[in-house]
Structures are given as C-alpha cells and as structure tokens.
C-alpha cells in the first residue's frame, strides 16, 4: 500500500495538521450554516439527561491519563455548557471547542490513532462528544455529522448500554454536528461530580415525545484471527403522555473491531 507523504517525511506532519485545521474552519465560515454561539440561563423543561463515569479503571492503562482526561473534559465543557440552539441553528463540536484555550491548558490523555491507543494533548474529548451525541439522539434535533470508532480498545464503561452511541471527533477531520429544525429553543447543560460527567438537554417548549435507542441483530465474529462485533442501531419514538410507540426507525448498522481483552463473550442479542 502506498504510504502518505507525511508518513515518509514525519517532519511534515505538524504542517499538515495546521493546514487541515485552517481549511476546516475556513469551510465552516463559508457553509452558510448559522452556528450556535449564544448562552443563557437554564431553560425550564428537561428533554433528557445522561451520565458517564469519568474514570475507566478497567482500561489497563496508566490512570494518570484518565485523570488528565477529566481535566480536559472540564476545560472543553465550558464552551458548550448553557449553549442555546435556536431554530435553524447548527451545533458544531469543533466550532465551539476552538475557543476552549481561554479556559485552561489541555493535558495528555488517551486517544485512538490508527487503531491503537496513544496519548496526545487534549486526549479524552470523545467522551464529551459521545455524551452530546446521546442527548441529540434522544431529542428532535437532526444529526448532520457523526463518525463512529472503527476499533473498540477499552471495555465499555456501562456493559448494558446499547452499542453504536459513540461519536469520535478529531480537529480538522471529524466533527459532530446537529441542527435544530424545530420551532423551539434547545440548550446543552454539562456538569460534573466526583464520579460522573452529566449531560442534560433542555427546551423552552412542550415535550411531546420520548426516544429509546436499542440494538438489533448483534453478532460477534472472528475474521483473520481478530474479534469483531456487528449490530444495528434503532430508535423508538413514543408519545410522552401515553408511551405509545409511533415510530420505530432504523438508524444505521456498524461493525467494530474489539481489541481489548475480554473474559466472557458478548451475550446481548436483540
């Protein structure tokens, strides 16, 4: 396979990264989207909430990187906490986080690069993008851009959560975007305690529906001596008052390589 120029001449990598970031933000300025940038006090009605443990003690990696990740998340979250999405506005993860440097300096945390875990300044921010993606999926907001992980290198923090709720981000390359195509305002809230990061989505209008994300056709298999899992992601839309299902929607299918050591096989089959 032909190697990229930056793989042959490593000294070119910083220049390429700088170039990609500049082009990325230049395109954002020209794409005619109106990006969310206004903050205000908390809206009254809670659409959904979710929490994720801050530390994964089963990672098998140096825990210092986990502690650094927590610091990184607290810096990054300040750019989205209390952010308002007005009707027809778009949320972009990197459009907001490019201002994060004013709230502190990122530390080295774990990132997945070329299918392998490594440490990088600002590592661990995917935990924030995944939290936001979960909130967007459980709301009427429209997902415009989301990228899955191709490799699962750490055991799930919650083995009971559905597969496929990940959303990887990489500045200059991979973004998370959602659009408010409704007539109501929506707001992101991010808070922390000692164990968890919490995400809440609020609105100023009436909440008519609830959403449930689940898997179908979960299959674990081996290929060329490597372990994979394949699954479908579905969403049920229910009336808030009666809990009656009014839509059962297929969202996407996904295949992920499993590279962490497991003691048991996957048993969730839907």
Record the pTM: 0.90
Residue 149 in domain: yes
**Amino acid 113: pLDDT:** 64
Q: Residue 153: enclosing H or E segment and its boundaries?
A: none
Assess contact for 165 and 134: CB atoms under 8 A.
Answer: yes
Residue 235 in domain: no
Phi, psi for 119 (deg, rounded to 5):
-110, 145
Residue 27 exposure: Cα atoms within 13 Å on the Cβ side: 11
Residue 13 in domain: no
Phi, psi for 95 (deg, rounded to 5):
-60, -35
Residue 266 in domain: no
Residue 267 in domain: no
Q: How does pLDDT run along the chain (270 residues), one tens digit per residue? A: 566 655 555 656 778 888 888 999 999 999 999 999 999 999 999 999 999 999 877 666 678 888 899 999 999 999 999 999 999 999 999 999 998 888 889 998 777 665 566 677 788 899 999 999 999 999 999 999 999 988 887 777 677 789 999 999 999 999 999 999 999 999 999 999 999 999 999 999 999 999 999 999 999 999 999 999 999 999 999 998 899 999 999 999 999 999 877 655 444 433
**Amino acid 267: pLDDT:** 43
Cα separation, 12 vs 3, in Å, equals 14
User: Max Cα separation, the chain?
Assistant: 62
Q: In this structure, what token pair is assigned to residue 97?
A: 């986080």
Assess contact for 270 and 244: CB atoms under 8 A.
Answer: no
Q: How many domains does the chain have?
A: 1
Residue 45 in domain: yes
Residue 1 in domain: no
Residue 4 in domain: no
């Amino acid at each position: 396979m032909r190697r990229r120029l930056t793989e042959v001449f490593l000294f070119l990598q910083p220049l390429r990264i700088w170039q990609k970031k500049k082009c990325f933000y230049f395109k954002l300025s020209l794409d005619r989207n109106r990006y969310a940038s206004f903050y205000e006090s908390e809206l009254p009605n809670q659409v959904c909430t979710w929490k994720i443990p801050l530390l994964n003690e089963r990672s098998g990696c140096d825990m210092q990187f986990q502690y650094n990740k927590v610091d990184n998340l607290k810096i990054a979250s300040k750019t989205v906490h209390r952010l308002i999405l007005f009707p027809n506005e778009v949320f972009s993860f990197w459009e907001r986080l490019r201002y994060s440097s004013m709230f502190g300096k990122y530390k080295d945390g774990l990132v997945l690069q070329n299918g392998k875990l490594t440490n990088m300044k600002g590592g661990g921010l995917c935990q924030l993008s995944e939290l936001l993606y979960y909130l967007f999926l459980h709301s009427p907001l429209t997902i415009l851009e989301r990228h899955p992980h191709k490799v699962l290198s750490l055991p799930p923090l919650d083995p009971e959560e559905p597969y496929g709720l990940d959303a990887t981000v990489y500045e200059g390359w991979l973004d998370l975007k959602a659009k408010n195509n409704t007539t109501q305002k929506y707001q992101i809230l991010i808070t922390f305690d000692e164990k968890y990061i919490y995400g809440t989505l609020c609105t100023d209008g009436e909440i008519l529906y609830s959403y449930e994300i689940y898997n179908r056709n979960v299959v674990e298999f081996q290929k060329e001596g490597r372990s994979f899992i394949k699954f479908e992601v579905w969403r049920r839309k229910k009336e808030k008052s009666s809990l009656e299902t009014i839509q059962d929607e297929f969202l996407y299918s996904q295949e992920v390589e499993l590279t962490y050591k497991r003691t048991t096989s996957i048993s969730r089959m839907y």
